[in-house]
Amino acid sequence: MNTLIIQLLLLAAITFATVLLLFPIAIKISPYLGLVDHPDFRKFHQNPIPPIGGLVIVSSLAIVSIFSPQLRSFILSQSVFIVTALFLTVIGVIDDRIGLSPRLRLVLQLACALAMTLNDVRLVSF
């Protein structure tokens, strides 16, 4: 098997393990950060839940990328993609914390999409 594929699979496994380690911690601290989604008429859940999945995944990728030369070089080569992905994560956290109007959220998401389009960011792996 290709060495790069093995390295990427190992990085994916380490990231997954990091997610599993961070989730219980994030669930415990999310109420103190005000990151709890309360049920209302638009939602299916009956109890308050912490909407922290994206934040935990992005944090895990950031932690693993610190120790991985492969991910570090990818991040440097794809800076527009990484910055817009982080910005989208921040938008999601702010929306979960204080709530953004749908219009403002859409405008910010479209700005991210426009930034990626203007910088010719493409997914060509599929």
Length of the chain: 126
What are 69-79's pLDDT values in tens digits? 777 777 777 78
Q: In this structure, are residues 48 and 38 in contact, taking their beta carbons and an 8 Å threshold?
A: yes
Asked if the model's pLDDT at residue 113 lies above 90, the reply is: yes
Task: Give the three-class secondary structure for 47.
Answer: coil
Tell me whether residue 26 is in a domain. yes
Tell me whether residue 124 is in a domain. no
Tell me whether residue 12 is in a domain. yes
Tell me whether residue 125 is in a domain. no
Query: Which domain covers residue 100, as residue numbers?
Result: 3-118
Number of structural domains in the chain: 1
Asked if the model's pLDDT at residue 53 lies above 90, the reply is: no
Tell me whether residue 123 is in a domain. no
User: Between 54 and 77, whose confidence is greater?
Assistant: 54
Model pTM above 0.75 = no
What are 5-27's pLDDT values in tens digits? 888 788 889 989 999 999 999 99
Tell me whether residue 40 is in a domain. yes
